[in-house]
A and B are shown apart, each in its own frame.
Chain A
Amino acid sequence: MPMHRKTLTELKAGLDAGDFSARELAEHFLARIDTLDPQLNSFISVTRDQALAQADAADQARAAGQAGLLNGLPIAHKDIFCTRGVRTSCGSRMLDNFISPYDATVVERMQAAGAVMLGKTNMDEFAMGSSNETSWYGPVKNPWDVARVPGGSSGGSAAAVAARLVPAATGTDTGGSIRQPAALTGITGLKPTYGRVSRWGMIAFASSLDQAGPMATSAADCALLLSAMSGHDPRDSTSVHQPVDDYSAALDQPLKGLRIGVPEEFFPATLDDRIASTTRAAMAELEKQGATLVSIRLPSVDLSVPAYYVIAPAEASSNLSRFDGVRYGYRCDDPQDLEDMYKRSRSEGFGAEVKRRILVGTYALSHGYYDAYYLRAQKVRRLISNDFARAFEQVDVIMGPTSPEQAFALGAKSDDPVTMYMADVFTIAVNLAGLPALSMPAGMIDGLPVGIQVIGNYFREGQILNVAHQFQQATDWHQQAPAFGESA
Chain B
Amino acid sequence: MEWETVIGLEVHVQLSTATKIFSGSSTAFGAAPNTQASLVDLAMPGTLPVLNKAAVEKAVLFGLAINAEIGKRSVFERKNYFYPDLPKGYQTTQLEAPIVGRGEVEIQLEDGTRKTVRIHHAHLEEDAGKSLHEAFYDEQGRGMTGIDLNRAGTPLIEVVTEPDMRSPEEAVAFARKLHAIATTLGICDGDMSQGSMRFDVNVSVRPKGEEKLGTRTETKNLNSFRFMDAAIRQEIRRQIELIEDGGSVVQETRLFDGDTQTARSMRTKEDANDYRYFPCPDLLPVEVTDADIERLRAQLPELPDARAERFMQQYALSDYDAGLLAADRHIADYFEAAAGAAGDAKLTANWVMGEVSARLNAEGQDIRQAPLSAADLGQLIQRIKDGTISSKIAKQVFDACWQGEGSPDEVIDARGLKQVSDSGELEKVVDQIIADNAEQVAAYQAAEGAKQKKMFGFFVGQAMKLTQGKANPQQINELLQKKLTP
Contacts and interface: CB of A to CB of B under 8 A. Distances in A.
Interface of A: 81-82, 88, 90, 95, 98, 100-102, 104, 199-204, 206-208, 234-238, 314-315, 317-318, 320-324, 326-328, 338, 342, 362, 365-367, 370, 374
B48 interface: yes
Nearest to A92: B45
B284 A238 contact: yes
23 contacts: A82-B44, A88-B46, A100-B44, A100-B46, A101-B39, A102-B39, A102-B44, A199-B48, A201-B47, A204-B46, A204-B282, A208-B281, A235-B50, A236-B50, A238-B281, A317-B80, A321-B80, A321-B90, A326-B87, A326-B147, A327-B43, A328-B45, A362-B276
B75 to A, nearest CB: 13
Contacts of B301: none
B45 A95 contact: yes
B74 to A, nearest CB: 14
A207 B281 contact: yes
Contacts of A237: 48-51, 282-284
A367 to B, nearest CB: 5
Which residue, of A95, A100, A235, has the highest number of chain B Cβ atoms within 10 A?
A235
A317 B278 CA distance: 11
B88 interface: yes
Contact of A100 (B45, B80, B84, B282): B45
Interface residues of B, number: 29
B3 interface: no
Nearest to B76: A237
Interface of B: 39, 42-51, 78, 80, 82, 84, 87-90, 145, 147, 274, 276-278, 281-284
Contact of B45 (A88, A206, A207, A314): A88
A85 to B, nearest CB: 14
Nearest to A201: B46
A104 B89 contact: no
Contact of B282 (A90, A102, A207, A374): A207
Contacts of A203: 45-46
A367 B82 CA distance: 17
Given A101-B44, A338-B84, 10 more contacts: A100-B45, A236-B48, A237-B50, A237-B283, A238-B284, A318-B90, A321-B82, A321-B89, A322-B87, A323-B45
B315 to A, nearest CB: 49
A465 B468 CA distance: 98
Nearest to A198: B48
Ranked nearest first, the 4 interchain pairs of A and B with the lowest CB-CB distance are A321-B89, A365-B276, A208-B281, A207-B281
Contacts of A208: 281
A19 B50 CA distance: 46
A365 B284 CA distance: 20
Nearest to B84: A326
Nearest to A338: B84
Interface centre among B49, B89, B147 (most CB of A within 10 A): B89
Contacts of A320: 89
Contacts of A81: 46
A238 B277 CA distance: 20
B82 A342 contact: yes
B278 A327 contact: no
Contacts of B43: 322, 327
A228 to B, nearest CB: 19
Contacts of B50: 234-237
Contacts of A326: 84, 87, 147
Nearest to B23: A235
Contacts of B82: 321, 324, 342
B281 A315 contact: yes
Contacts of B147: 326-327
A346 B274 CA distance: 19
Contacts of B88: 321-322
A327 B284 contact: no
Contacts of A199: 46, 48
Contacts of B284: 237-238
Nearest to B282: A207
Contacts of B283: 237
B3 to A, nearest CB: 33
Most central of B39, B46, B88, B278 by chain A CB within 10 Å? B46
Given A207-B282, A237-B283, A238-B282, A318 B45 contact: no
